[in-house]
Structure 1
Amino acid sequence: MNEDSATPRYVALIGDIRGSRELADRNEVQNEFKSVVDSLNNHVPDRSIASPFTVTTGDEFQVLLTDAKAGVEAAVSASDQFHPAGLRFGIGQGELDTAVNPDQAIGMDGPCFHRAREAINSARKDGAWIRVAGWSNGIDDHVNSMFDLVQCVREDWTDRQAQFGRALKEEDTQKRVASRYGVSKSTVSESLSAGHVHAVRAGENSLGTLLQDTFPGGESP
């Protein structure tokens, strides 16, 4: 990377709906998409948001962040909420050439957004869930390959596995998830195990940490 290391770096995240033009209920899906995007402004800590999650078209959003792990966590949260419809994401890091817009993530430009756009275009071309760009070729390639593996598992989740996986992040324990849905703890445990949900969460967390640790000025919390 050629930018001056003293220049502030940002992480741009762009997300969109996979195959949105082919959806029969596109308007309904877009409304749900907007609701999910709006929720991310409450889900992601304010300290990590330089410019808020903003729907830029009916099926695309972008956000400007100050740390990389928040970008991965936002992509995971949005994907969890939007199951079974699929989302894809491009994450790019770098400078910002324009002033930060604190009200909405539009009207800004710079390498972080260029790389995020490059990444989501790559995801679109490859049918991928998440692509990153702007770290180093080695890190970009490694992270993208690992996200592909995580995607392979996530896309086999049943609705129940996705539901329990999302609830586990909110409830913390399998017992509370079971109580929430009126099922036995063993039902929750067996469903999570069959979907390899714990391994997926560990992988998502590890990749977010790696991107944060190698983000200039970033460090794991």
Structure 2
Amino acid sequence: MFTLIGDIVGSRKIADRAAAQQAISAALNRVNEAIDTAQPLEPTLGDEVQGGFTTVADATLAALLINLELSPDIEMRFGLGKGDVTVHDSSRHPLLQDGPGWWTAREAISTLEGRRGTWYVGPSEENPPPALVNAFLLARDALVARLSDRQQRMLLLSFQGRSQREIAATEKISQSAVSQAFAKGVRAAHDAQLTFGKA
């Protein structure tokens, strides 16, 4: 299973932590509806979230969608892993579990050393190999970080299947403005993620 662990960047600086946790839970629910999960995304202890996926593409997309679903003042970083997972108690939530899948995701998030972003740790013989996955994640996250808040909303809407005309109506701007935003990075971020999913 491809595993995901996320935690809040700068959580101690958030004034209303209860509201932040509610926003994160709502974002996880929306992402769970958008992506097929092997193990649904759910909050855990210590400002963290976790979930499991059948493909690395779905795991990378989930990390991106969570951040796009959240308001700009709440940002998460993500560690992705690959390996077997053992659930010791399925009646508990969060699930009581461990195994190499979670150990590698923990190693990945530790590699970030507090920095924003997404990182993957998996078997070197995996296809695609971890180095290739991380090259994609570095480029994708840097591109998304350069988008304005509005452009990031457009990116989220594009992943939801909205047309440029529908995005213009939602944002109350002209279709030409949406087209310009797509040309300045929204389309590249969208298409890069979808192309990676086909690799």
- What is the TM-score when the length of structure 2 is the normalising length? 0.86
1:96 to 75, 85, 93: 85
- Structure 2 residue 51 is the aligned partner of structure 1 residue 36: no
2:180 to 179, 190, 199: 190
Measured against aligned partners, the alpha-carbon deviations of 1:154-191 in whole angstroms (never above 9, x if no partner) come to: 11211111122212222431112112333211011112
Contact 1:93–1:116, Cα closer than 8 Å, also in 2: yes
Q: What is the DSSP-based 3-state SS (H/G/I as helix, E as strand, rest coil) of the residue aligned with 2:95?
A: coil
Contact 2:158–2:190, Cα closer than 8 Å, also in 1: no
Partner of 1:57: 45
Q: What is the DSSP-based 3-state SS (H/G/I as helix, E as strand, rest coil) of the residue aligned with 2:173?
A: coil
Aligned residues: 196
Q: 1:102 to 1:202 in 2, by over 3 A?
A: farther
Following superposition, the deviation at residue 65 of structure 1 comes to 2.5
Partner of 2:158: 168
What does 1:190-209 correspond to in 2, within 5 Å? 190-194=180-184, 196-209=185-198
Partner of 1:127: 115
Contact 1:89–1:131, Cα closer than 8 Å, also in 2: yes
1:139 to 129, 133, 139: 129
Q: 1:102 to 1:89 in 2, by over 3 A?
A: farther
Partner of 1:215: none
Q: Amino acid of the residue matched to residue 183 of structure 1? A: I
Q: Which runs of 5+ in 1 are unaligned?
A: 1-9, 211-221
Measured against aligned partners, the alpha-carbon deviations of 1:28-83 in whole angstroms (never above 9, x if no partner) come to: 222211211222222222xx32x322210252111122332221221121111114
Partner of 2:56: 68
Q: Amino acid of the residue matched to residue 169 of structure 2? A: S
Q: Which runs of 5+ in 2 are unaligned?
A: none
- How many Å separate the matches in 1 of 2:145 and 2:94? 29
Cα RMSD of the aligned pairs, angstroms, is 2.3
Q: What is the DSSP-based 3-state SS (H/G/I as helix, E as strand, rest coil) of the residue aligned with 2:98?
A: coil
- How many Å separate the matches in 2 of 1:77 and 1:86? 11
Contact 1:96–1:109, Cα closer than 8 Å, also in 2: yes
Measured against aligned partners, the alpha-carbon deviations of 1:3-29 in whole angstroms (never above 9, x if no partner) come to: xxxxxxx11111111111122333322
